[in-house]
Amino acid sequence: MKLSQLGSCYVNLAVTNNIYRKYEKGTYPSFSENEIEVLKRYRYPIRIGSYGDPTAVPFDVWKPIILASSSHTGYTHNWKNSKPIWKQYLMASVQSLAEARIAQSQGWRTFRIMTPDAPLSKNEILCRHTEDDRIRCEICMLCDGNSSKPNIADRVHGLKWKVSNFVKYSESLSN
């Protein structure tokens, strides 16, 4: 069974669903040239995608946004099938040590979700926000794709039933 079928993603879908409803009605605004210019001027950091896989959008759509920002973070579950260009910008999102090793052998840095009691591997550090909740992603910026920075791991978090589903999923991988 796939992790996505268990419903253990930590993202609160209420916000995403509201955005999608606006998009469907045609009332969600498009990213304008003016906003690209604002990004260029103020050099805001961005997260490439928030829910859903950013590689579903052609790289040419993301490129001007990425280049206009000061820095970026981003993740893909589609690392096995995505174009190599994405390795520069996204972390391979993985759910096991075995999957992390495969992604790393293909040149990806990884962001691994782990069970609450799982140890870090030798080439990982714990997400800085988990260690200190004052450190936000837009300050840390370790999850910026292919660089010499370490791989990141984080303990599964969120609603209890989602954490429980992830732990069951992880246990199923061991069996």
* Spatial separation of the C-alpha atoms in residues 29 and 61, rounded to whole Å: 16
The 10s digit of each residue's pLDDT in 112-162 is: 988 888 899 999 999 999 889 899 988 899 999 977 899 999 988 777 887
Query: Is there a contact between 5 and 162 (Cβ–Cβ < 8 Å)?
Result: no
Digit-coded pLDDT (tens) for 94-113: 989 999 999 999 999 999 98
- pTM surpassing 0.85? no
Structurally, how many domains does the chain consist of?
1
- HEC states along the chain? CCHHHHCCCCCCHHHHHHHHHHHHHCCCCCCCHHHHHHHHHHCCCEEECCCCCHHHCCHHHHHHHHHHCCCEEEEECCCCCCCHHHHHCCEEEECCHHHHHHHHHCCCCEEEEECCCCCCCCCEEECHHHHCCCCCHHHHCCCCCCCCCCEEEEECCCCHHHHHHHHHHHHHHHC
Find the domain containing 81 and state its range.
3-174
- The one-letter amino acid at 69: S
